[in-house]
Amino acid sequence: MAHELNRVKDDLASGEVKRLTHDVYDSAVASGRLNFLSPEQLMKITNVYAKINNADIRAISVVVAEEAVDQSKSKLISQQQYSSLKNVYNARKQEVSKLIDEVLKEPWLSRYLKS
């Protein structure tokens, strides 16, 4: 999970708008492996991944808006609307990166990975 969080953090730091996958977390949820975490730890990691998911949704909206502006098929979305979507995405990127940094410093994360 730490590797996945670092990869997501790297994706957020890149200049590109990218999809943020979280397959390791999804697998851990499906397998019940997160049951080994305390409620506080579970809340922290779940909050981080909820924010990652939200940033991913924002990334999708930016990509779609960018394509609409670039193709100029119609005036369904203006450059101003696109800029607004991208600003929201960039704010989410910063928020998620900070949360990832915080959870990666947690000593329980490395212990969890060994179990």
Total tally of structural domains belonging to the chain: 1
Helix (H) or strand (E) holding 114: helix 107-114
Cα 4 to Cα 10, 26, 49, distances in angstroms? 10, 11, 11
What's the confidence (pLDDT) of residue 73? Answer: 56
Are the C-beta atoms of 28 and 34 separated by less than 8 Å? Answer: yes
Per the structure, the complete domain to which residue 83 belongs is given by 2-114
CA distance 55 to 57: 5
pLDDT tens for each residue of 8-66: 999 999 888 888 888 888 888 888 888 888 899 989 999 999 999 999 999 998 888 88
CA distance 9 to 98: 9
